[in-house]
Amino acid sequence: MVSIDSALDTTIVTGGTTPTLCRPTSGRVEVCNATYGNNGWLGVAQIWISGVHIVQGTVKGNDTYFNTTTYNKPQWRQMVMCQEVGHTLGLDHQDTTFNNTNLGTCMDYTNNPLGPPSNVDPNQHDYDELVTIYSHLDSTTTVSAPASSKMPPAMADIDLTTPGQWGKLIRTSHNGRTALYELDFGRGFKVFTFIIWVQQARGQHHGGNPGAPVVHRRRAGVLAGSGAWAARSRGFLPRPCVSETIHSIKMNNATHHPGTVPRVT
């Protein structure tokens, strides 16, 4: 178990799904990796929102690319998985420029995860942000209540594996290396999808999707926030999974007040 200022406890437990499907589990973050194919993305984080609370999340690392020379390095695996799990807990990026000096956090984009400083773990600023997010308690909790009982049926059953199912592209970086999608089911129910794209050939569309951004630059990453998510963290994350494995992060004591930042409850 990892406890952050008593406001947020997490326990790494056996996953409740399969690596290939990586279906969400209420009150948990399912962390998966498998060979998901040449679809253009290196990592994906998805969070299910009810009002202002995150009720469940998934993280997927694509071993199709992590098995290549470019990304088959511990630092790339650690940074990507750290960053994506950070999103599922409510964190955004501290910086989204790839070629500037590292900030020493996995919530910072970089072309060189080892730096110096290293960007493979969260930093104290991330932890401080998590304390801010989770210290304000209310009576809402989804840890023991099935999220699917409250969701619209389509939200619980929809397949969210391809860009065509992620909804509206609401943010992207100027160079096409970052993106955030929103799928709105109404009445405060939404699914947000954060994407880290891999390097694409010039003029190639991500994932073969004609509607996706065309990349003319070197590599890709997830998108930067403008305040909808908080940013910053360090060490609460599981280490990268090996091929075809899954872990789950169980939220143990989270009740939170409504606010501008979605949060796991």
- pTM of the model as a whole: 0.77
44/262 Cα distance (integer angstroms)? 18
> Cβ neighbours of residue 177 under 8 Å, at least 6 residues apart?
96, 98, 109, 197, 215, 217, 219, 220, 221
What pLDDT tens digit does each residue of the chain (265 aa) get?
556 666 677 888 889 899 999 999 988 999 999 999 999 999 999 999 998 889 999 999 999 999 999 999 999 999 999 999 999 999 998 887 788 899 999 999 888 999 999 999 999 999 999 988 888 666 666 565 555 557 888 888 888 888 999 999 998 876 677 789 999 999 999 999 999 888 763 334 444 343 333 222 222 222 222 222 222 222 333 333 333 334 556 544 443 333 333 444 4
Q: How far apart are CA 246 and CA 134, in angstroms?
A: 26
Residue numbers of the domain that contains 123: 2-264
Q: How many structural domains are present in the chain?
A: 1
Q: Given this model, what pLDDT does residue 249 score?
A: 60
